[in-house]
Amino acid sequence: MTSGNPWAIEAQGLTKLFGPRPALLGVDLRVPRGAFLSVFGPNGAGKSTLIRSLATIMRPTAGKVMLEGLDAARHGGEVRRLLGVVTHQTLLYPDLTAQENLEFYARMYDVPRRRERIAYLADLVGLEGRLDQVVGTLSRGLQQRVALARALLHDPPILLLDEPETGLDPQAQGMLGDLLRRVDGQERTVVMATHSLERGLELGDRLAILVRGRLAYESTKEALNLEALRSTYRHLAAAGE
Amino acid sequence: MEKGLTVRDRFGGASLLTGLNLAMMVAALYLALLWAPTEAEQGNVQRIFYFHVPLAWVSFLAFFVVFVGSLIYLWRRSRWWDALAHASAEIGVVFTTLVLVTGSIWARPIWGVWWTWDPRLTTTTIMWLIYLAYLLVRSYATESSQGARFAAVLGIVGFIDVPLVALAIVWWRTLHPGPIIPQGGVDPSMLFVLFFSLATFTLFYVLLMMGRVRLRLAQDRLEELKYQRMQGD
Amino acid sequence: MRGFWGKALAIAWKDILAEARTKDMVLSMLVFSILVIIVFNFAFESSAEQTAQVAPGVLWVTFTFAGVLGMNRSFVQEKDRGCLEGLMLCPLDRGVIYTGKMLGNFIFMLLVEVIVLPVFSILFNLPLFAPRLVLITVLATLAFSTAGTLFAAIAVNTRARDFMLPILFIPVVVPVIIAAVQASGLALAPGPGEGYWSWLQLIVVFVVIFLAVSFLVFEYVLEE
């Protein structure tokens, strides 16, 4: 990995147009290594587009994404090894067991000693005894745990989360928060898109607000005036809809 | 706005060409219907040949342009090349339809049937279907740049596929020989009319392309303006 | 290169594993194939020698439409829980994803054909176990999978994912359909079957072209 560069994620002038509609418009974003950035925004603000562009599965119309100093457009393969992604979809095959799903993806990521790694992660996310169950029959909360294990298989230095709590009950949400915090313990850079101000503030140490595809606000948690932020957010969210 | 997205046409000064083409059309009609000698075996029906062949030529030309436009679009991602491929596919489909119609009209008195699975006719029909799919995949895409990508893939695959289709159909038909167009010696004045007509239709294609590409870019621009208006920017 | 095939096979294998559990795709393709054959039987209600003439046609119409059904399903399953995105997130060459899905489709279609061919031969009283018929069936099925996988990936991403695939797929595979019908007819007919190998070559050329082109363009199909 590049040593001199303090930024895990850099986006420059990131723009994505869907027809005439810009989902992202000239977003410049820098996330230092080890930070946890929460990205807020109302529905349709471009959060998912941002995460998908950073995750290299969406090709931006203009601008570029650098991950650990590597240009994502040119070093797709290497960049993808750096990324773990959890979205509101599980990315799991519902007809395979958790174990089979994880083994499949571990193979795709060339994970060495797959079984041990999977056993370790299953323990970490609290899946003991559920690995041999078909994913489609697991509860939403358990599925999301498998999805998190999937994202961590190759021990990626960067985690991208797109509304990871969608469809989870409050208990499972708390669980996910704990997991992310623990995962956060090991020098991992996290970007989480969420529409919940509370959860984002609780977990993140930096935050950014997206409104209509533009970065409207960015700050670290310490420098933050919470009341000002709340009112700004409500104001912007109302304007965005 | 970005360069290349502006409506100010990259095809200025079309009106002079339009006038010229109009004159050529009238001349081509005169040459084909009155001036050219009547064919000995087929009689006046054969005169449709002066329209049928140029239409077919323009169709192939149009689909070749789709192929080139699609390749360059995937490589450079410029909206102009996509507009070019799209316009050419639309015109190609219209001209291919006309090829099928004129072919059918010609077949009726000569072969006694409106339709026959002649290799050329059959290949043309399959080609027509491939490019109809090209237009359909565009209209059923979830958004315009996705449609452009999918269409470009079909524009490339389809063009490579057409020779295979032709080959398969020719082999298939040689097993069951169908009617063959009488191939006599062609009178030099007939050739002249054919080439004049070819030039006329090719220029017509170019003019249609210019208009259609310009229209498409203007449509894109209009969408942008509408969107900005809606946003109150 | 070993990594390439290892991963492509793993993609095909997880499709087989999932299919072994649900049997959705193969069962629906099978039932559909048998229905088509039965409907054809009503349409052509005919003497034995006429049957021999239309049999290759009926067989390939059946396989074409059953293939469309199966290949569409195979990508709808990828799309439903975002698994296609999961694959795109992996550090894989797009050609690996194409090859894996193509192999899976190829195997499922072969499986259906292995069952349909005997049923067909019983219902129509035809000797369908000619080695040359088997060869042409395997090759034409491979050709269907090469083109079908590319177009299924396109179709599933459109708003009309249920009917886009046949519209894209059928005109393009016309050469394969013609070659397969003709070669099957020659394989079933008594005698040396002049021309059989030319049809076979045509299919091989189609496979080579479509593998090469799909490898180059699959990336553009998957990206958003």
Sheet containing A83-86: give its strands across. Answer: A83-86, A158-162, A189-194, A36-40, A206-211, A214-220
Q: What per-residue confidence (pLDDT) applies to B84?
A: 94
Q: What per-residue confidence (pLDDT) applies to C217?
A: 93
CA nearest neighbour of B103 among B58, B57, B56 = B56
The pLDDT confidence band at residue B6, using thresholds 50, 70 and 90, is very low
A70 vs A78: CA distance, rounded Å: 8
Contact A203, A38 (CB under 8 A): yes
Interface test with C, best of A104, A132, A137 (most C CBs within 10 A): A104
Residues of B (6-65) whose Cβ lies below 8 Å from C: none
Closest partner residue to B140 (CB to CB) among C158, C210, C221 is C158
A193: burial class by Cβ within 10 Å (0-12, 13-18, 19+)? buried
Partners of A85 on chain C (C-beta within 8 Å) are 89
Q: For tokens 């001036």, what's the residue? A: B35
- Of all residues in chain B, the one with the smallest CA distance to C159 is B140
From residue B196, how far is each of A22, B16, B58, C85, C147 by CA, in Å?
Answer: 49, 19, 14, 55, 41
Q: What per-residue confidence (pLDDT) applies to B175?
A: 56
Report DSSP state, residue B44: G
Summarised one tens digit per residue, pLDDT across range A83-142 is: 999 988 889 999 999 999 999 999 999 999 999 999 998 888 888 888 999 999 998 888
Closest partner residue to A108 (CB to CB) among C18, C90, C223 is C90
Contact A63, A27 (CB under 8 A): yes
Residues of B (46-65) whose Cβ lies below 8 Å from A: none
Summarised one tens digit per residue, pLDDT across range B184-214 is: 556 778 888 888 999 999 999 999 999 899 9
Å from A62 to nearest chain C CA?
A: 13
Q: What per-residue confidence (pLDDT) applies to B205?
A: 94
Residues of A (13-32) whose Cβ lies below 8 Å from B: 17-21
DSSP for A143-206, please give it: HHHHHHHHHHTT--SEEEEESTTTT--HHHHHHHHHHHHHHHTTT-EEEEEES-HHHHHHH-SE
Q: What per-residue confidence (pLDDT) applies to B183?
A: 54
Going by DSSP bridges, is the β-strand pair A70-71/A62-67 parallel, antiparallel, or unpaired?
A: antiparallel
Strand, coil or helix: what is B77?
coil
Question: What type of residue is A41?
Answer: G
Task: Please enumerate in sequence order all residues whose Cβ is within 8 A of that of B135, keeping only pairs 6 or more positions apart, or say none.
Answer: B89, B90, B93, B151
Orientation angle between helical segments B49-76 and B188-231, nearest 10 degrees: 40
Summarised one tens digit per residue, pLDDT across range C146-186 is: 999 999 999 999 998 889 999 999 999 999 999 999 998 88
A54 has a pLDDT exceeding 70: yes
Q: State CA C219 to chain mean position distance.
A: 22
CA nearest neighbour of A189 among A83, A48, A90 = A83
Q: Do B231 and A19 lie within an 8 Å CB cutoff? A: no
DSSP H or E run through A14? strand A7-18
C217 vs C146: CA distance, rounded Å: 13
Query: Does A241 touch chain B if contact means CB atoms closer than 8 Å?
Result: no
Closest partner residue to C91 (CB to CB) among A57, A81, A150 is A81
Backbone phi, psi, residue C173, to 5°: -90, 10
Q: Is the dihedral of CA C120, C122, C126, C131 positive or negative?
A: positive
Q: What per-residue confidence (pLDDT) applies to B7?
A: 46
Q: Do A19 and B226 lie within an 8 Å CB cutoff? A: no
DSSP H or E run through A86? strand A83-86
Query: Does B224 touch chain A if contact means CB atoms closer than 8 Å?
Result: yes
Mean pLDDT (whole number) for A45-59:
89
DSSP for C7-19, please give it: HHHHHHHHHHHHH
A2 has a pLDDT exceeding 50: no
B1 has a pLDDT exceeding 50: no
A187 vs B140: CA distance, rounded Å: 45
Q: Which tokens go with B83?
A: 């507009």
Summarised one tens digit per residue, pLDDT across range B126-136 is: 999 999 999 99
- Beta-carbon-side half-sphere exposure of residue C94 (alpha carbons within 13 Å): 20
Q: A194 - beta bridge partners?
A: A40
Å from C59 to nearest chain B CA?
A: 18
Strand, coil or helix: what is A219?
strand
Q: Do B145 and A20 lie within an 8 Å CB cutoff? A: no
Q: Do A20 and B143 lie within an 8 Å CB cutoff? A: no
The pLDDT confidence band at residue B5, using thresholds 50, 70 and 90, is very low
Contact C74, C104 (CB under 8 A): yes
Q: Is A187 left (phi over 0), alpha (psi -120 to 50) or beta?
A: left
C215: burial class by Cβ within 10 Å (0-12, 13-18, 19+)? middle
Please count the helices (runs of H) and the strands (runs of E) in chain A: 8, 10
C128-154 burial code (b ≥16 CB/10 A, e <16): bebebbeebbebbbbbbbbbbbbbbbb
Q: Do C91 and A58 lie within an 8 Å CB cutoff? A: no
Report DSSP state, residue B162: H
Query: Does B171 touch chain C if contact means CB atoms closer than 8 Å?
Result: yes
Interface test with A, best of C24, C26, C89, C101 (most A CBs within 10 A): C89
Q: What per-residue confidence (pLDDT) applies to A44?
A: 80
Contact B95, B58 (CB under 8 A): yes
Question: Where are the domains positioned within chain C?
Answer: 2-223
Question: Is A174 or A114 the better-scoring residue by pLDDT?
Answer: A114
Contact C123, C190 (CB under 8 A): no
* Least confident residue range of A38-52, A169-183, B74-88, B178-192: B178-192
- Of all residues in chain C, the one with the smallest CA distance to A75 is C91
B176 has a pLDDT exceeding 80: no
Å from B144 to nearest chain A CA?
A: 5
B113 has a pLDDT exceeding 90: no
CA nearest neighbour of C169 among C157, C183, C151 = C151
Q: Do B74 and C213 lie within an 8 Å CB cutoff? A: no
The pLDDT confidence band at residue A241, using thresholds 50, 70 and 90, is very low
Q: Which tokens go with A113?
A: 């000693």
Percentage of chain A surpassing pLDDT 70? 90
Q: Do A57 and C85 lie within an 8 Å CB cutoff? A: yes
Strand, coil or helix: what is B3?
coil
Query: Does C190 touch chain A if contact means CB atoms closer than 8 Å?
Result: no
Closest partner residue to B153 (CB to CB) among C174, C175, C220 is C220
Task: Please enumerate in sequence order all residues whose Cβ is within 8 A of that of B197, keeping only pairs 6 or more positions apart, or say none.
Answer: B28, B31, B32, B50, B51, B53, B54
Q: Do C18 and A55 lie within an 8 Å CB cutoff? A: no
Q: For tokens 């699609």, what's the residue? A: B70
Task: Please enumerate in sequence order all residues whose Cβ is within 8 A of that of C189, keeping only pairs 6 or more positions apart, or say none.
Answer: none
Task: Please enumerate in sequence order all residues whose Cβ is within 8 A of that of B16, keeping only pairs 6 or more positions apart, or say none.
Answer: none
Closest partner residue to A19 (CB to CB) among B143, B228, B231 is B143
A6 has a pLDDT exceeding 50: yes
- Of all residues in chain B, the one with the smallest CA distance to C166 is B133
Question: What type of residue is A172?
Answer: A
Q: Is B6 left (phi over 0), alpha (psi -120 to 50) or beta?
A: beta
Query: Does B223 touch chain A if contact means CB atoms closer than 8 Å?
Result: yes
Residues of A (126-165) whose Cβ lies below 8 Å from C: 134, 150
A218 vs A205: CA distance, rounded Å: 11
Q: Report chain A's mean pLDDT, rounded to a whole number.
A: 84
Q: What is the pLDDT along chain C (224 residues), one digit of tens a residue?
A: 558 899 999 999 999 999 999 888 899 999 999 998 888 878 776 666 677 778 888 899 999 999 999 999 989 988 888 899 999 999 988 999 999 999 999 999 999 999 998 888 888 777 767 888 889 999 999 999 999 999 999 999 999 888 999 999 999 999 999 999 999 888 887 777 778 888 999 999 999 999 999 999 999 998 87
Backbone phi, psi, residue B135, to 5°: -70, -35
Q: Do C89 and A85 lie within an 8 Å CB cutoff? A: yes
Q: What per-residue confidence (pLDDT) applies to B180?
A: 46
Contact C82, A163 (CB under 8 A): no
* Least confident residue range of A37-41, A232-236, B195-199: A232-236
Query: Does B39 touch chain A if contact means CB atoms closer than 8 Å?
Result: no
Query: Does A56 touch chain C if contact means CB atoms closer than 8 Å?
Result: yes
- Number of Cβ pairs < 8 A linking chain A and chain B: 17
The pLDDT confidence band at residue B2, using thresholds 50, 70 and 90, is very low
B89 has a pLDDT exceeding 90: yes
Partners of A96 on chain C (C-beta within 8 Å) are 14, 17-18, 21
- Of all residues in chain B, the one with the smallest CA distance to C198 is B171
Q: Do C85 and A105 lie within an 8 Å CB cutoff? A: no
pTM of the model as a whole: 0.89
Partners of A77 on chain C (C-beta within 8 Å) are 91-93
Q: Report chain B's mean pLDDT, rounded to a whole number.
A: 84
CA nearest neighbour of A160 among A83, A218, A108 = A83
C163: burial class by Cβ within 10 Å (0-12, 13-18, 19+)? middle
Mean pLDDT (whole number) for A23-50:
87
